[in-house]
Structure 1
Amino acid sequence: MLAAKQELIVRELEEGTGAVIAVAIDNGGLRSGMKIWFADLDQQHGPVAEIRPRGLKAHHVNLTFGNFSGPIIRQIRQASAEDRQLAMALVASIDQAAALSLGEQALEDWTVTDGSFRMDATIRHDVRPDTDEAVSLTCREVIVPMMAAMAELIGYDMVEDDAVDDEPAFEGAIKPSVINRRERNPRNRLLCIRLHGESCAACGLEPRLRYGEIAGGIIEVHHLEPLANVAAPRPYDPATDLLPLCPSCHRAAHTRRPVPWDIEDIRCMLEEHGG
């Protein structure tokens, strides 16, 4: 029963989208489903995803907009080219086996223009759809990319603009730090890993294999072109502009400022010192 999976679904979606998620059981069909939306928007004022079992080993997922979503849709229409590109890449990362449909729109150039926008996907499993394994897979492979795309278009971002300071004079002193918007954006991390995998691009470490599931989230996102060096805002391609790095290699890359070491430089360091 999906009713018993609420905590699991919320955890998967909040980690993947970077937004606070609300859920509710929907008993409107032959089989109970669950509706999912952003907690600061009710079901009538924004995008709502629904997951429902289909057959013996499948889930059907759809995403629609509530009847009073006009303000949010207008906000989405004003999204930057960069946000639109990332949103489209997130949806495109859904496995083709999930049979994704965007109505009459093409996968490579869909847009949200009004409340009739809809996404549908059916994902099949090797186990029953009421198992943790099946629910987690549906969340990660279908619902997270859908909702993460909407979060990107709406503008759910973690931004801090503190200035960089030198090393503190005393141990334990509070030090301001710059946290780059694109580096903190969980959708970038999600898409980077979906495109490049979970292995460090420099040393090859895959934390999930070495430490188990508990360390699966420590891979970080590295910008091949430092955003501080970009003279003007520009759309970027997550496939070519981002790479996963383990925390050690990421820290090593940024020991050179303002331009970090290249990935090949890090590999040479590792070879030279037996890493």
Structure 2
Amino acid sequence: MLKDHADLIASELSEGTGASVALSIVASGIRSGLDIWFQDLEKRQGPIVELRPHGLKAHRVQLRFGNFSRQILKQISEAPAEDIQLARSLVTSIRVEANVEIPGQSLECWTVDDGRFTIAATLKHETTADGGDAIVATCREVIVPLMAAMAELIGYDEIVPEDTSGELEGALSLALVRKRERNPRNRLLCLRVHGYKCFCCGIKPQLKYGPAGKVLEVHHLQPVSQLHEEKHYDPKTDLVPLCPNCHRAVHTRRPTPYSIEELMSMMDTNVH
């Protein structure tokens, strides 16, 4: 039953979205469902995700807005273009098999225009939908990107970088890079697009270390020295996952880090 996995669901969603979530059980005949929302908002004041069993092997997920979401909707309408782009990219990263539906809008260019906005998806599993593996899959493949998109539009968890003045040239640009690298939604999309392996050496830490393998770091490809002019930012193409060793290695050259190609060339040259 979904209610038996409430703690697991909350943990998966908080890690993926960078914001704390709240859950409540909703009775639905013999099998219960869950309503999920951001913890610092009252349930009716923002986006709500309904998670329901759909037959024996599927989950139905629907995102809608509560009846008193006017302030949040206004906040979303004022979201910067980069945040809107990231939110759309997160939604398009949902597995094709989930059959995402946004009534009246396209998957690639949707807008939260009013409180009637909804996104729905149905994900079918090979085993029963009540199992832990199926629930985790639905969280990671559907609910996390949906709620992460809303978190980005609302503006959750803005990261204040540490003072880097005097450490490197282009400190202001470096701060911007670090903010992007540390944004949990940027990290989420980067890993969903490129896979859970190092873009340089190819290691898959979670396969090697199991639960202790969540160590991949996000690297910004654009050198700091080239970020003084405004640049259209796309986390799908501007970020790559690196293992801690490769990430540390590319930054051993300052102020401009080694490129991925340069580091890979060094690795090939020094293989014994």
Superposition TM-score, scaled by structure 1 size: 0.91
Divergent runs of 4+, >6 A: none
Is the CA contact (8 Å cut-off) linking 2:61 and 2:143 kept in structure 1?
yes
Which residue matches 2:171? none
Q: CA deviation at 1:211?
A: 1.4
Amino acid at match of 1:265: E
Question: Residues 259-274 of structure 1: matches in 2 within 5 Å?
Answer: 259-274=256-271
Which residue matches 1:195? 193
Q: CA deviation at 1:28?
A: 4.9
Higher mean C-alpha displacement, 228-237 vs 243-252? 228-237
Which of 229, 243, 261 does residue 240 from structure 2 map onto?
243
Q: Give me the whole-angstrom Cα distance separating, in 1, the residues matched to 2:81 and 2:135.
A: 33
Is the CA contact (8 Å cut-off) linking 1:17 and 1:187 kept in structure 2?
yes
Superposition TM-score, scaled by structure 2 size: 0.92
Is the CA contact (8 Å cut-off) linking 2:224 and 2:255 kept in structure 1?
no
Any idea what SS the aligned residue of 1:126 has?
A: coil
Count of residue pairs brought into register by the alignment: 265
Q: 1:68 to 1:153 in 2, by over 3 A?
A: same
Is the CA contact (8 Å cut-off) linking 1:158 and 1:184 kept in structure 2?
no
Amino acid at match of 1:66: G
RMSD of aligned Cα (Å): 1.9
Any idea what SS the aligned residue of 1:44 has?
A: helix
Q: CA deviation at 1:91?
A: 0.1
Runs of 5+ unmatched residues, structure 1: 168-176
Any idea what SS the aligned residue of 2:49 has?
A: strand
Of Structure 1 and Structure 2, the greater helix share is in: 2
Is the CA contact (8 Å cut-off) linking 2:224 and 2:256 kept in structure 1?
no
Is the CA contact (8 Å cut-off) linking 1:85 and 1:235 kept in structure 2?
no
Which residue matches 1:222? 219
Q: Give me the whole-angstrom Cα distance separating, in 2, the residues matched to 1:233 and 1:184.
A: 20
Q: Give me the whole-angstrom Cα distance separating, in 2, the residues matched to 1:228 and 1:161.
A: 18
Which residue matches 1:3? 3
- Percent sequence identity over matched residues? 52
Runs of 5+ unmatched residues, structure 2: 168-173
Q: CA deviation at 1:189?
A: 1.1
Q: Give me the whole-angstrom Cα distance separating, in 2, the residues matched to 1:26 and 1:141.
A: 22
1:126 and 2:123 equivalent? no
Is the CA contact (8 Å cut-off) linking 2:26 and 2:35 kept in structure 1?
yes
Any idea what SS the aligned residue of 1:36 has?
A: strand
